[in-house]
Homo-oligomer: A and B are copies of this chain.
Amino acid sequence: MILRTAAPARLIYPEDIAHRVLILGGGFGGLYAALSLRHAKVEVTLVDRRNFHLFQPLLYQVATGSLSPGDICAPLRGILSRQKNTRVLLGEAAGIDPAARRVKLLDAAELGYDSLIVATGSKSSYFGNPEWCEWAPSLKTVEEATAIRHKILYAFEAAERVGDADERRAWLTFAIIGGGPTGVELAGALAEIARQTLKNDFRSIHPQDARIVILDGGSRVLATYPEDLSRHAEAALDRLGVEVRTGVRVVAVSRDGISIQSAGSAPQWQAAKTVLWAGGVQVTTFGKTLAESTRAPTDKHGRIRVMPDLTIPGFPQIYVVGDLAGADDAAGNSLPGVAQVAMQGGAYAARAIVQRLEGAPVLRPFHYFDKGDLAVIGRGSAVARIFGLHLSGLPAWLVWLFVHLMYLVQFQNRVVVFVQWGFQYLTFSRGARLITGKAISDSVTAVDGMKNLSEE
């Protein structure tokens, strides 16, 4: 497909004039864009509101006390320190003037660009009930992960001290809303904590009695996976003692539990002191601002419908990659919001910028190379669709282990994570079982402090 850029000539610069590439976001999309520009004759500025890249696929391990935040985060400056054409700025994009080619940061500073790569990702969606986030933290940031860790560990502590049987039951009930990979991974890890890690730690309760429930509105967990893998996952969860309830909709979330509803029946109350949100995502505030400022078309999730080269229609110098980009594959299916899509999108945008600078008039459209899907359920248990193969059990888990260790950005982290996992596998112990923040408080307070962060 031949790309029709609005004014391709404008984007070709003589070699001696530095072309300014501004990248917003240091997640998979932004970081891989920056890394792909390391040999390019451009000036790269990467802006993120955090000083680190977060290896999101392992965030559930922080939430469940296996790894420390430091194990799955790498300072952006450290990763890019030797890339001399690149600078990293701590900042948050707040607005854009696409005609003047300037991005405004929250603190009113402005950054000009010749090419812009927007990779600001997504945030959790509570389906129109943002107030639920207070009682049901999601798993998008490091702070939310430590808040979830706090909630889980505190629930067992509270159950140990409570006299009333119903209240103890509520503290030992864990409801996970959403049966996608995050929900399945959280449930599996929670089951391991309850059945193994904490087995001998309490005197008044049996952590093994904890009830762990996954609730999903669809007909099966891992809805985006092939059906046979969903069945494998459900069987594996069942063996771990995790209940799966499909076809139910959450209609209320409060401090003490949730109300759920199946089609055609009345809402039903479920007492649960720990509710975790693994529902959907939505675009960030800056994503909305960008769509408005460029009058870009958006899909029903608010993602920007990009051109085949990932640019915004009418703005061939603005690339959108990762979760914010509403792009389709060859079959016309919307590309999923996963790390692979973001990484490949970031690398594509970098290549496209270089090619245009070199005067290449025709660019191949972005093509997502789908390597597959992986979801881990527990020790030695996972499901994988990889290069067309469907794997489950130990083989899938070994693939998962290999892939995740290889992708962890920093070599140092890779070794530390490997050591942590090795010990954990042998001993069932979890090294990072800390309740930080104000430990003695209703779990409410702990999550409350996170509100600002989870909401963007």
Residues of A with Cβ closer than 8 Å to B? 49-52, 67-71, 73, 75, 77-78, 81-82, 87-92, 106-107, 109, 142-143, 146, 153-154, 157, 160-161, 198-204, 410-413, 415-416, 419-420, 423-424, 427, 429, 431-440, 449, 452-453
Contact = CB atoms under 8 A, between A and B. Distances in A.
A412 B416 contact: no
B431 A70 contact: yes
Contacts of A146: 436
A142 B70 CA distance: 14
Contact of A201 (B49, B50, B78, B453): B78
Given A68-B69, A70-B68, A423 B412 contact: yes
Given A419-B415, A419-B419, A420-B412, A440 B91 contact: yes
Nearest to A198: B77
Contacts of A453: 438
A437 B91 CA distance: 14
A449 B70 CA distance: 21
A433 B78 contact: yes
B433 A75 contact: yes
Nearest to A432: B70
Contact of A81 (B89, B160, B201, B434): B201
Ranked nearest first, the 3 interchain pairs of A and B with the lowest CB-CB distance are A70-B432, A68-B68, A68-B70
Contacts of A154: 90
Nearest to A153: B51
B200 A89 contact: no
Nearest to A106: B440
Nearest to A82: B200
A207 to B, nearest CB: 10
B49 A439 contact: yes
B434 A201 contact: no
Given A415-B423, A420-B416, A435 B201 contact: no
A91 to B, nearest CB: 7
A106 B109 CA distance: 47
B438 A452 contact: yes
6 contacts: A50-B434, A51-B157, A52-B434, A90-B154, A90-B160, A142-B436
Given A52-B434, A435-B51, A161 B423 contact: no
Given A78-B433, A90-B157, 8 more contacts: A49-B439, A52-B434, A70-B433, A75-B434, A90-B160, A91-B440, A143-B436, A413-B431
B92 A440 contact: yes
A434 to B, nearest CB: 5
Contacts of A68: 68-71, 432
A453 to B, nearest CB: 7
A109 B420 CA distance: 37
A390 B424 CA distance: 40
B437 A143 contact: yes
Contact of A69 (B51, B91, B434): B434
A218 to B, nearest CB: 34
Nearest to A143: B436
A445 to B, nearest CB: 11
